[in-house]
Amino acid sequence: MKLVGSFTISTLALVWWASLPAFDHARVPAPGAAQDSREREMYVSVLDDKGTPVTDLTAAQFVVREDGVRREVLRIRPATNPIDIALLIDNTQAMEPFTSDLRLALASFVEQMSKKNRIALITFADRPTIVTDYTSDLTRLTRGVKRVFAQPGSGSYLLDAIVEVCRGIKKREPERVAIVAVLTEGTEFSNLNYQVVLDSLRASGAKFDALVVSIGQAADVLSDGGRNRAIVLDQGTGLAGGRRVDLLSGMGLGDGLKRLASELSNQYLVTYSRPESLIPPEKIEVSVTRPGLVARGTPVPTKRG
C-alpha cells in the first residue's frame, strides 16, 4: 500500500468480473454492442503512483487475461458515455463528526459529475433510503445533499444498500454504472453474507469504490455484520474494478471524491477478443506494460450486448 496525501491507493491490478493510437476515434460500436460475438469490453482506469489518470496509452500497452490466459486487445477509445452513479452515503450516528465535511465534499462531487452523468443519493442509516433518485439536475442534487444529516442512535445497513442498488441496476440496465460508498467505521447491522453482496456486484457490472473515514478505532471484525462488510470493502472494490480509499479524517473526503471524479472522467473502453465458450471465465485481469502504472477494469456485462 502506498500513502498519497490523506488516503491510500491499492497497487493491486486484479479485477474479477466478467495496433491503434491511444483514443482512436475510428468507427467503433457502442458499449455492450460489440460487432462480433467473440468481442468483449471493459472500462479501465489507469493511474500513476500519485493517483492521477494516464490517458495516452495505446492498445498495444494493455494486457487482458482471463483465468490466466492472455487475450488479444483489439482497440481502445475514451469512455465518454454517461455514467449512472449511485452515491451510498453514511448518515449513521458514527458519521456525525464529519457531516459538515461530508456535505461539502458531496456538493463539489455532484456539481462536477452531474454535467454529463446521472447521480442518485442514497443513505443507509437504519435502512437504505433514496434521498434523490438518478438525475442530472444539479438543483435537485444540491437540495438532496443539504438533507443529509446523521441520525442519532442509528447503525449501518451498507450491505443491504449495495444489494438493493444492484437490483435496480439490473432492472434498468444502464450502459455504464458506478457505485460510490462514502462511510466511516461504524457498526454494520445488515444480515447479508458477503458472498451475496459480491455476487450482486458482479451481476450488476458496476464499478465499486469506497471512501472510508477513520474514527480512531479498530474496524468491527468480531460481529458477522462487521466481518461481511470488511470483506466487501476490501475484496469487492478490487473485484469490481474500483478501490477502497482509507481517509485519515473527514477533511480528506473532498480530495478523495475529487480524485475519484477525475478517474471516472478519464477511463478507457477496451475491446478484446474471447474464444467462443459455454463457460465464462472466473477471473479477468487487466494490466499495462508501462512501468509504474496501475490498471483496474470493470467488464461490460454481455447481457447488454
Tell me the three-class secondary structure of 17-82, residue by residue. CCCCCCCCCCCCCCCCCCCCCCEEEEEEEEECCCCCECCCCCHHHEEEEECCEEECEEEEEECCCC
Are residues 93 and 240 both part of a single domain? Answer: yes
Residues 198 and 163: beta-carbon distance below 8 Å: no
Are residues 272 and 258 both part of a single domain? Answer: no
Are residues 293 and 187 both part of a single domain? Answer: no
pLDDT tens digits for 104-121?
A: 999 999 999 999 999 999
Average pLDDT value for residue range 31-39: 61
Nine-digit cell string for 111: 456539481
Q: What CA–CA distance (Å, rounded) separates 92 from 105? A: 17
pLDDT tens digits for 48-87?
A: 999 999 999 999 999 999 999 999 999 999 999 999 999 9
Q: What CA–CA distance (Å, rounded) separates 111 from 267? A: 19
CA 32 vs. chain centroid, Å, equals: 18
Are residues 117 and 260 both part of a single domain? Answer: yes
Are residues 28 and 137 both part of a single domain? Answer: no
CA 219, 221, 224, 228: dihedral to nearest 10 degrees? 70
Look at residue 225 in the predicted model and tell me its pLDDT: 92
Identify which of 92, 122, 98 has the alpha carbon closest to the alpha carbon of residue 188: 92
Are residues 194 and 67 both part of a single domain? Answer: no
Q: What CA–CA distance (Å, rounded) separates 100 from 276? A: 52
What is the overall mean pLDDT for the chain? 88
Are residues 122 and 28 both part of a single domain? Answer: no
pLDDT tens digits for 114-145?
A: 999 999 999 999 999 999 999 999 999 999 99
Are residues 220 and 101 both part of a single domain? Answer: yes
Are residues 114 and 230 both part of a single domain? Answer: yes
Domain of residue 223, CATH code: 3.40.50.410
Number of domains in the chain: 2
Determine the structural domain holding residue 35 and report its residue range. 2-79+268-304
44 φ, ψ (degrees, to nearest 5): -130, 130
Are residues 47 and 142 both part of a single domain? Answer: no
Nine-digit cell string for 89: 452515503
Are residues 101 and 199 both part of a single domain? Answer: yes
pLDDT tens digits for 145-194?
A: 999 999 999 999 999 999 999 999 999 999 999 999 999 988 899 999 99
Residues 86 and 163: beta-carbon distance below 8 Å: no
Task: Give the count of alpha carbons within 13 A of 119, CB side only.
Answer: 30
Are residues 277 and 221 both part of a single domain? Answer: no
